[in-house]
């Protein structure tokens, strides 16, 4: 996803961002029709565009790639995730430092967490990008989320990997937090686990 785009690819992706009609995409570039068609098909094969019945749609994968080359795309991607363009740029730069120019497919920004590894997010602790990283981690690991008393956690390695902590204030999002409320969370989890185990044991007795 971090590969360097050719100038003509950037031009076509920009045009597709502005219009979903192939003819308009072609007319808004300075590229010959046959070349536009060839490049568009190549971008579609790589998952950056979708084309059907004369209509073109840039995918999130294409938007991410274009955001590395174009400020308009960067702002659109940032708005989609509720962050500033600077925060989005910093996150994408981290991803590309980790991946180099490997042309690895992603369907959404959350997929980048799987590509770079959860541990790579540790360096974003205490930075303006931390909140975005937490949101992406929760999307990527949604099946791993544990909810306790209004807070949500992702646990791993004997501790908390990411938290949306109600006790620390609404909107509090932390990576690898040194949480003063950790004992409260784990005590609550233990209580719930013991209750569930007891209920299961009693149900087995009845049967």
Q: Are residues 131 and 192 in the same domain?
A: no
Structural domain harbouring 32: 1-136
- What DSSP line would sit under 142-201, residue for residue? GGGEEEETTEEEEEETTEEEEEE-STT-TT-EEES---TTHHHHHHHHHHHHHHHHHHHH
List, for residues 140-168, the tens digit of each pLDDT value: 988 888 887 777 888 776 677 888 877 67
H/E stretch holding 124 reads none
Same domain, 124 and 28: yes
The CA R_g of the chain, rounded to the nearest whole Å, is 22
User: Residue 128's domain is classified under what CATH number?
Assistant: 1.10.10.10
- Final residue of a domain: which of 136, 151, 171? 136
* Judgement on whether residues 68 and 96 belong to the same structural domain of the protein: yes
pTM: 0.79
Q: Which of 93, 115, 136 is a domain's end point?
A: 136
Number of structural domains the chain divides into: 2
Query: Using one digit for the tens of pLDDT, what is the confidence trace for 92-117?
Result: 999 988 888 777 778 899 999 988 88
155/120 same-domain check: no
The CA distance from 155 to 160, in Å, is: 5
Same domain, 151 and 111: no
Tell me: the pLDDT tens digits for 44-82? 999 999 988 889 999 999 999 999 999 999 999 999 999
- Is there a single domain that holds both residue 126 and residue 43? yes
Last residue of a domain, one of 88, 111, 136: 136
């Amino acid at each position: 996803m971090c590969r360097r785009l050719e100038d003509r690819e950037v031009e076509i992706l920009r045009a597709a961002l502005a219009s979903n009609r192939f003819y308009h995409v072609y007319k808004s570039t300075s590229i010959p029709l046959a070349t536009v068609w060839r490049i568009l098909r190549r971008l579609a094969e790589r998952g950056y565009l979708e084309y059907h019945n004369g209509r073109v749609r840039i995918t999130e994968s294409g938007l991410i790639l274009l955001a590395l080359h174009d400020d308009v795309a960067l702002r659109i991607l940032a708005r989609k995730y509720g962050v500033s363009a600077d925060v989005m740029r910093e996150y994408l730069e981290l991803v590309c430092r980790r991946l180099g120019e490997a042309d690895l497919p992603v369907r959404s920004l959350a997929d980048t967490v799987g590509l770079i590894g959860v541990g790579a997010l540790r360096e974003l602790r205490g930075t303006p990008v931390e909140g975005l990283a937490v949101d992406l981690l929760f999307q990527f690991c949604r099946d791993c989320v544990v909810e306790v008393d209004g807070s949500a956690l992702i646990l791993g390695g004997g501790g908390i990997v990411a938290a949306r902590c109600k006790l620390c204030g609404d909107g509090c999002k932390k990576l690898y937090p040194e949480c003063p409320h950790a004992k409260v969370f784990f005590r609550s989890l233990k209580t719930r686990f013991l209750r569930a185990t007891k209920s299961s044991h009693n149900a087995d007795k009845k049967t």
